[in-house]
Structure 1
Amino acid sequence: MIRETDMIAGNTERRGTRFMGWVPVIVLAVLMMPGAALAQLKIDITQGNIEPLPLAVTDFVGSDEAAAETGDKMAGVIRANLERSGLFRPISEAAFIEKISDPNTAPRFGDWRILDAQALLTGGVTQEADGRLRVEFRLWDVFGEEQLIGLQYFTKPDNWRRVSHIISDAIYERLTGETGYFDTRIVFVSEAGQKGQRVKRLTLMDQDGHNPRFLTNGSSLVLTPRFSPTNQEITYLSYAGGSPRVYLYNIETRQQEVVGEFPGMTFAPRFSPDGDKVIMSLQRGGNANIYELDLRTRATRRLTNSPSIDTSPSYGPAGREITFESDRGGTQQIYVMNADGSNVRRISFGEGRYSTPIWSPRGDLIAFTKQYKGRFLIGVMRPDGTGERILTEGYHNEGPTWAPNGRVLMFFRETPGERGGPSLWSVDLTGYNERQVPTPGFGSDPAWSPLIR
């Protein structure tokens, strides 16, 4: 039998919200076989085209009928998350030989080797006397016959989906060595109605498209929402009252405030890595330049000064550099400069026009939109402009945004025709794993949150 280890000193606690106030998810204990060494099963994600790792995810055993139903749903979310990453191939449950009845007992590894399962996930859900759920899981190396990781959580019953995302992240990290991205959210512009007359509402949802919630009522135009690095605030541009204003929306309190009116704004602001400033492009006197706004003092500072159009600024993850697009060289190209506006240098030199650059959270790449021969391409390059790679192309792709681990991009794609419209898509850095993200109606201008804490 497998027993729990002693409780971790201080208990690790992760806090977050599923659109309804703070909901604590407590990691109570690490679950391991006594004296067992950790196995070394791991996916090398530095390769170009990765063969998905076969794994089996069993339904979580429930202490009663309601807990068993929750366990089935949790296993389904975990399977979907891992499969959608492109790095894992969940084995069909119809092929399972062993039925797991006790998640605290080691599985019959031979039954899973027959299925070529490299990893096996087992778990259980228990309804506690105080109304909370106790959720535990164990990840096994089937061929090494060892436990890779085991954790236990306490949470409210209606928070089961978020716990499923947290478990997915733990599996992803253990098998790839990189931080997961499933316990995150997407803010975007939801569009409904006829083309040319669509109602646009700011919308928040889980990264897999579940739990959508409208943040604005559609009475005024909203554009380009962006997350704060604290994860609890969104900045966006709204034309409420007829003139462009920058708003801050607090996800926790649902309160919003006006940062200021910017009649000449050409691109909505993005937060600095410390959350104290936002950067934006303002058009004044016939040309557009990059400005920085201090959120504490509301003072603005001009960073570029050219007769061209400088727009779409984005901070590097350390806050020391800024990337932006400019036509100062005759066509739209990508530039990088120091955070104070000095040392401006062009980094894009390929054919076509480059726009909407955004720095990876890891700092190693800059994503961009590229227009070339009538097509819209989403690609990445290093901060010095080398290593350009196109990940996807289409009729009209635009607006890339990074997952917090810097492994996956989301963007929106327009389809032609009277009934056409924008939809959200994701693609990983290999370019082979491209998928549509479900949204209520049309969707554009996505922004990916940091991991929920």
Structure 2
Amino acid sequence: MMRYMMSLLAALMLWALPAIAQNSGPLRIEITEGVIEPMPYAVPDFVGESATATEMGRNLSRVIASDLSGTGLFREIPAQAHISRITSFESPVQYADWRAVKAQALITGAVSVDGSGRLVVKFRIYDVFAGQELGNGLQFVGTQDGWRRIAHKVADQVYARITGEGGYFDSRVVYVAESGPKDQRAKRLAIMDYDGANVQYLTDSSSLVLAPRFSPSGDRVLYTSYETGFPRIYVLDVASVGRRVLPTMDGTMSFAPRFAPDGRTVVYSLTQGGNTDLYRMDIGSGASTRLTNAPSIETAPSYSPDGRQIVFESDRSGTPQLYIMAAGGGEARRISFGQGRYGTPVWSPRGDLIAFTKQSKGRFHIGVMRTDGSEERLLTASFLDEGPTWAPNGRVIMFTRETQGAQGQARLYSVDISGRNLKQVQTNGGASDPSWGPLQN
């Protein structure tokens, strides 16, 4: 078992000091250096207490498996290889049978519908080689329509107990849904589960919309709209889909908004008289404060998780580069020094890294660097990759990739912070400008 545990999270903790695995310790993916070898696990269909619950149990286990295997850190042992069959949630686990098929982790569960019609899901996680339960069993209760959310919650618990880090499956992404030909593309805001399910549209396509950004609590979205002919910033309530424009001076253009961690403040770019600077606004009062005052273009601001600093893009050195300044403005220090043009920086929710878009030698890249600009690492390369956004646990990045040519289309992709596990996110048609929200309550 140790060969798995000593290697599995190497790519996810590229900048971390190696951890020591104790031979007598519980099942755990250890953080170290080495070759990635996904942990084998089994998740038999959750046991149902009725025909409806049986089908639900099968669906739940498939979503849990999709979540875990989709990380690249886990490998499911298929049902046809199982020796033991889980027919009761209370039956003792036959560890020898699961060891025989090389499973290290086993997830079992049961599904029922209570007297109020609510879905009740119980589950346990087992360390097969140690022959013991990993932590205590848990139970989630929700609506039958919300079964996918419960599955994501179970997967988050499994991920957290084995990796020691928070999960990200029970989260949503707001993005720009695109349709139509490339030269007449219609765009509207949409929201979906992190894996592309449960799509809902928040706006119509009557006017151009850009750069949606979730609030820290996930209840609101900032975005830029050309509804009036000029870019203006709107704030939209996700539940009611009600919206309002944020006040700015006549004759100006406002764009690239992002919430502060307190959820009450917005930082954004404003163009007036041909000059673009950063401003901060109190959403409640509408009062704005200018943060930069330079002849260069300052845009794409993003707060640090503690709200004390802002990273942004500026061409004050002649080409677009990344800078950090105090949240209240003042002197900024440059942190990008590689060859090429840097933009769209986003601070990791863990506070340790900054993701960015880089253009160099005719290619676009998504990359990460330390907050002092050191240890730059490019994760992707293509005709056009741009606009990174972080998963709630700071270990996965989603971004836009657009293909070349007249028939080229924008799609969403994700990649972990080592550059591994690059994959397309399933969406209905074209998609761009993702913003990954927090874990749901």
TM-score if structure 2 supplies the norm length? 0.92
CA contact (8 A) 1:187 1:203 kept: yes
User: Alpha-carbon deviations, 1:108-142, whole Å to 9, x = none?
Assistant: 01111011111000001012122112110000000
Pick the aligned partner of 2:152 from 130, 148, 165: 165
Pick the aligned partner of 1:195 from 169, 182, 185: 182
Pick the aligned partner of 1:260 from 236, 247, 264: 247
2: CA distance, partners of 1:284 / 1:370: 27
- The residue aligned with 2:94 is 108
Instruction: State the secondary structure of the residue aligned to 2:157.
Output: helix
2: CA distance, partners of 1:401 / 1:224: 11
CA contact (8 A) 2:321 2:341 kept: yes
CA contact (8 A) 2:107 2:126 kept: yes
2: CA distance, partners of 1:190 / 1:213: 10
1: CA distance, partners of 2:32 / 2:320: 32
- The residue aligned with 1:8 is none
User: Alpha-carbon deviations, 1:370-394, whole Å to 9, x = none?
Assistant: 0010000110001101111111111
2: CA distance, partners of 1:261 / 1:338: 23
- The residue aligned with 2:322 is 334
C-alpha deviation, 1:244, in angstroms: 2.1
- The residue aligned with 2:393 is 405
Q: Residue 414 in 1 paired to residue 407 in 2?
A: no
C-alpha deviation, 1:293, in angstroms: 0.9
Residue type of the alignment partner of 1:213: Q
2: CA distance, partners of 1:90 / 1:264: 54
Residue type of the alignment partner of 2:211: T
1: CA distance, partners of 2:128 / 2:304: 41
Q: Residue 153 in 1 paired to residue 144 in 2?
A: no
Report the count of equivalent residues. 416
2: CA distance, partners of 1:283 / 1:154: 49
2: CA distance, partners of 1:45 / 1:452: 27
Aligned pairs for 1:355-366 within 5 A: 355-366=343-354
Which moved further from structure 2: 175-184 or 336-345?
336-345
Q: Residue 209 in 1 paired to residue 193 in 2?
A: no
Instruction: State the secondary structure of the residue aligned to 2:145.
Output: helix
CA contact (8 A) 1:411 1:446 kept: yes
2: CA distance, partners of 1:214 / 1:46: 42
Judging changes above 3 Å, is the alpha-carbon distance between structure 1 residues 163 and 255 closer, same or farther for their aligned structure 2 residues?
same
Pick the aligned partner of 1:291 from 279, 301, 316: 279
CA contact (8 A) 1:281 1:310 kept: yes
Residue type of the alignment partner of 1:236: Y
User: Alpha-carbon deviations, 1:322-373, whole Å to 9, x = none?
Assistant: 0001111111110000111123100011111111000000000000000010
CA contact (8 A) 1:49 1:430 kept: no
2: CA distance, partners of 1:101 / 1:260: 61
2: CA distance, partners of 1:379 / 1:56: 34
Judging changes above 3 Å, is the alpha-carbon distance between structure 1 residues 242 and 159 closer, same or farther for their aligned structure 2 residues?
same
CA contact (8 A) 1:39 1:148 kept: no
2: CA distance, partners of 1:213 / 1:39: 44
1: CA distance, partners of 2:389 / 2:213: 10
- The residue aligned with 2:6 is none
Aligned-pair identity (%): 53
Aligned pairs for 1:27-38 within 5 A: none
- The residue aligned with 2:37 is 51
- The residue aligned with 2:218 is 231
> Comparing both structures, which one devotes a greater share of its residues to strand?
1
Instruction: State the secondary structure of the residue aligned to 2:401.
Output: strand
CA contact (8 A) 2:233 2:254 kept: no
Residue type of the alignment partner of 1:136: K
Pick the aligned partner of 2:308 from 295, 320, 324: 320
1: CA distance, partners of 2:195 / 2:253: 32
Instruction: State the secondary structure of the residue aligned to 2:75.
Output: strand
Judging changes above 3 Å, is the alpha-carbon distance between structure 1 residues 434 and 105 closer, same or farther for their aligned structure 2 residues?
same
Instruction: State the secondary structure of the residue aligned to 2:161.
Output: helix
Instruction: State the secondary structure of the residue aligned to 2:130.
Output: coil
C-alpha deviation, 1:261, in angstroms: 4.7
Gaps of 5+ in 1: 1-37
CA contact (8 A) 1:49 1:432 kept: no
- The residue aligned with 1:16 is none
CA contact (8 A) 1:244 1:261 kept: no
C-alpha deviation, 1:239, in angstroms: 1.3
2: CA distance, partners of 1:264 / 1:51: 54
Judging changes above 3 Å, is the alpha-carbon distance between structure 1 residues 48 and 319 closer, same or farther for their aligned structure 2 residues?
farther
Judging changes above 3 Å, is the alpha-carbon distance between structure 1 residues 82 and 42 closer, same or farther for their aligned structure 2 residues?
same
Pick the aligned partner of 2:83 from 85, 94, 97: 97
Pick the aligned partner of 2:380 from 392, 409, 430: 392
CA contact (8 A) 2:256 2:299 kept: no
Gaps of 5+ in 2: 1-23
1: CA distance, partners of 2:326 / 2:205: 38
Pick the aligned partner of 2:228 from 231, 241, 244: 241
2: CA distance, partners of 1:49 / 1:214: 42
Q: Residue 72 in 1 paired to residue 61 in 2?
A: no
TM-score if structure 1 supplies the norm length? 0.90
Instruction: State the secondary structure of the residue aligned to 2:300.
Output: strand
- The residue aligned with 1:86 is 72
1: CA distance, partners of 2:107 / 2:214: 33
CA contact (8 A) 1:265 1:280 kept: no
C-alpha deviation, 1:259, in angstroms: 1.6
1: CA distance, partners of 2:206 / 2:32: 46
Residue type of the alignment partner of 2:81: A
Residue type of the alignment partner of 1:41: L
CA RMSD of aligned residues (A): 1.4
